[in-house]
Amino acid sequence: MATAPATGDTVKRIQQRGLWFEEFEVGTIYAHRPGRTVTETDNVLFTTLTMNTQPLHLDQAASELLAPFHDRLVNSMFTLSTLVGLSVTQLTQGTIVANLGFSEISFPAPVRHGDTLYAETLVEDKRPSGSRPGEGVVSMRHTARNQDDVVVAVAVRKTLVRMAPDA
């Protein structure tokens, strides 16, 4: 049976955070779990909040007539946001300074209501910042797969990340 520490005892406290620049390992793949099941409400809310009036996301009757999918699809910007969001707690929570940019974004397969997204991140490159002491640039390739292991999104992201405080 566990007991509380006696008054005055030192208790180890760990706060969840992302990785400091030094902790990123080029060539390492980080698997982000749990996944995120996408609902119709997610899609409609995101689509309307962002003023995207594309019937493919909002209008079931119109979507049924549109080849090749014949169904509403999840907004690809929601897919991209979720892909990046799934990585935050493991990689950048509290350690990121800024997103510097996204490139090579692709959506090789559609996401549908009820799909579950799983993400992984490959650290492709890192270097100390030449203009911002105590920070470094990390390049990551994020990949999202659905519950059937089909790749539904890929994005390369460059971030500015803090170095460890004692570095």
Q: How far apart are CA 153 and CA 144, in angstroms?
A: 5
Distance, first Cα to last Cα, the chain: 39
Q: What is the dihedral of CA 115, 91, 93, 99, to 10 degrees?
A: -90
pTM for this one?
0.88
How far, rounded to the nearest angstrom, does the alpha carbon of residue 151 sit from its chain's CA centroid? 14
| Token code pair at residue 97 | 């300074």
Radius of gyration for the alpha carbons in the chain, expressed in angstroms and rounded = 20
Please, which residues have CB within 8 angstroms of residue 70's CB and are 6 or more apart in sequence? 63, 64
Q: How far apart are CA 118 and CA 146, in angstroms?
A: 6
Other C-beta atoms lying within 10 Å of the C-beta of residue 58? 16
How far, rounded to the nearest angstrom, does the alpha carbon of residue 110 sit from its chain's CA centroid? 17
Q: 21-162 belongs to which CATH class?
A: alpha beta
Q: What is the dihedral of CA 63, 102, 143, 135, to 10 degrees?
A: -150
| Token code pair at residue 108 | 């090789």
Instruction: Return the domain boundaries, the chain.
Output: 21-162
The predicted pLDDT at position 4 comes to 63
The predicted pLDDT at position 135 comes to 97
Residues of the chain where predicted confidence (pLDDT) is lower than 70 = 1-6, 167
Please, which residues have CB within 8 angstroms of residue 142's CB and are 6 or more apart in sequence? 83, 84, 87, 119, 120, 121, 153, 154, 155, 156, 157
The predicted pLDDT at position 12 comes to 86
46-61 pLDDT, tens digit per residue, is: 999 999 989 999 989 9
| Token code pair at residue 58 | 């909002």
The predicted pLDDT at position 106 comes to 98
The predicted pLDDT at position 67 comes to 84
